[in-house]
Amino acid sequence: MWSLSTGPCGAARTDEVALDRRPMDEMLRQLPRTPVTTRAARRSGVPARELAGPLWQRLHRGVHADAAVDADDPDLRIAAVAELLPAGAAIGGWAGLRLLGARSLDGRAGSRSVEPVTVCVGRDGVIRPRRGLDLDRTPLSDDDVVEVEGVPVTTWLRSCSYLATKLPVERSTALIDAALHDGLGSAPELRQHLAAMRRRHGAPRARVVAGLVDGRSASMPESVLKVVWVLEAGLPPPLVNQALVDDRGQPLGKPDLLDVEAAMVAEYDGSTHRELLEHTYDNAREEGFESHNLVVVRATSIDLWPRRPLLLQRLRDGRARGLARDRSRDRWGLRPA
């Protein structure tokens, strides 16, 4: 049977693979769930025709795994790329942040697509371009790299900087917010780092991201809604997940986004919000906000994409209503720190 010891990224150490011929059903249960290099598999007695057979799948040229494993699993994809790293290279971007502890980053850009794993090779690193890899050739110093279970990984500041300079603003803001929310670092430190970038390609975009990230969003779509609110609707930067109290000091709720001057909140409703219990809570929450003289604007994934122009108008209209409200009827406030 296959005997695998744990190595980097939770991957199998491919220099310790041993094969014993057992009945096929037991073989199926014991095939490695982590990447194995072709060289290690062949050294263990697995013939080339078997690697090309139905029990295996090729993740990259020279890297294989059990055919039953989900090839889009983020940890599997990262571990497979780790097998390909040349000397001096490191895993970066979303994958680097995931290895550092941002487990909410799964490399999925939507329900049907995945993002490539970033490999930082510096100016002189040599690696063959492959599908599923994103090569970063910006200079890489020793201070930019740490080691996680034997795998070289770019620091959280370097990984976030790469995302901020490489990706569209709303995507990089959402990824970085998630990493900060997972406790990887300090939002003020990152803002200072991004704001100080000058000559690097993408630096102007990174400085825009610096003004948006805060690590307080509870989900990536909430971060996207924040970007839409500020950059497209042109509204003042909101407070994010700020706890509110009523006029008696009792908890009122924690809206996703809040415009204090206009008493307007924006709430993002994910797919779970259509379930009966969640929908019931949402209705009561919205009524509670409105009864205390807050204006509520709700958004779904459809509002963020195909109906975005209408969402922009709804946000602007909501702010106009809030500014024109009878402030003597306000019965809400920010929860004291």
pLDDT digits (tens, 9 = 90+) for 200-243: 889 999 999 999 999 999 999 999 999 999 999 999 999 999 99
pLDDT tier, 14 (very low <50, low <70, confident <90, very high otherwise) = very low
| Confidence check: pLDDT of 184 > 70 | yes
Residue 137 pLDDT > 70, yes or no?
A: yes
pLDDT, tens digit, 9 for 90 and up, residues 60-81: 999 999 999 999 999 999 999 9
89 and 203 in a single domain? The answer is yes
> Last residue of a domain, which of 180, 210, 240?
210
Q: Where residue 9 falls among pLDDT bands split at 50, 70, 90?
A: low
Residue 80 lies in a domain: no
Residues 224, 161 within the same domain: no
Q: Give the separation between CA 205 and CA 166, rounded to whole angstroms.
A: 9
Distance CA 197, CA 205 (A): 10
> Which band of pLDDT confidence, cut at 50, 70 and 90, is reported for residue 275?
confident
Q: Give the pLDDT confidence score for residue 328 in this predicted structure.
A: 98
Q: Are residues 205 and 224 in the same domain?
A: no
When pLDDT is averaged across residues 5-10 and rounded to a whole number, the result is 44
Q: Beta-carbon neighbour count of residue 74 at 10 Å?
A: 20
Contact 154, 78 (CB under 8 A): no
| Confidence label for 28 from pLDDT (cuts 50, 70 and 90) | very low
Rounded Cα–Cα distance for residues 194 and 209 (Å):
8
The answer to whether residue 78 is domain-embedded is no
| Percentage of the chain lying above the pLDDT 90 cut | 74
Residue 296 counted as domain residue: yes
- 273 band by pLDDT with thresholds 50, 70 and 90: low
Query: Smallest Cα–Cα separation from 91: which of 17, 12, 36, 11?
Result: 11
**Ranges 24-38, 130-144, 192-206, 283-297: which has the least confidence:** 24-38
Task: Report whether pLDDT(316) > 70.
Answer: yes
Residue 109 lies in a domain: yes
What is the reported pLDDT for 148?
Answer: 97
- Asked if pLDDT for residue 7 goes beyond 70, the answer is no
pLDDT top residue among 305 and 123: 305
The full DSSP string for 257-288 is EEETTTTEEEEE--GGGGSHHHHHHHHHHHHH
pLDDT of residue 103: 96
Domain annotation covers residue 76:
no
- Contact assessment for residue 179 and residue 165, using Cβ atoms and an 8 Å cutoff: no
Pair 187, 97 in one domain? yes
| Alpha carbon 287 to chain centroid, angstroms | 32
187 burial type by CB count under 10 A (0-12 exposed, 13-18 middle, 19+ buried): middle
> Phi-psi bin for 73: left (phi > 0), alpha (psi -120 to 50), beta?
beta
In this predicted structure, which of 10-19, 132-141, 226-235 has the lowest mean pLDDT?
Answer: 10-19
For residue 261, is it within any domain? yes
**In which band, very low, low, confident or very high, does the pLDDT at 18 lie, cut at 50, 70 and 90?**
very low
CA dihedral defined by 187, 94, 307, 316, rounded to 10 degrees? 10
Pair 30, 90 in one domain: no
Q: Which of 157, 181, 210 is the last residue before a domain boundary?
A: 210
Q: Identify the domain containing residue 301 by its residue range.
A: 220-334
Using pLDDT thresholds of 50, 70 and 90, give the confidence band for residue 272.
low
pLDDT for residue 16 = 40
In-domain check, residue 75: no
Query: Could you tell me the two tokens for 269?
Result: 């409703």
Average confidence (pLDDT) over 259-288: 86
Q: What is the mean pLDDT of residues 137-158?
A: 96
Which residue, among 74, 89, 93, has the nearest Cα to 34 in the 3D structure?
A: 74
In contact, 196 and 207? CB cutoff 8 Å: no
Residue 278 has what pLDDT?
A: 79
pLDDT of residue 280: 80
Let me know whether 203 and 146 are in one domain: yes
Examine the domain organization and report whether 93 and 187 are in the same domain: yes
- Report the pLDDT value the prediction gives residue 282, as an integer from 0 to 100: 82
Number of domains composing the chain: 3
- Write down the pLDDT at residue 111: 65
Of the three residues 156, 190, 210, the one that is the final residue of a domain is: 210
Q: Is the pLDDT of residue 274 over 90?
A: no
**Same structural domain, 33 and 149:** no
Give the integer Cα–Cα distance in Å for 295 and 221.
21
Is 256 part of any domain? Answer: yes
Assigned token pair, 113: 């697509």
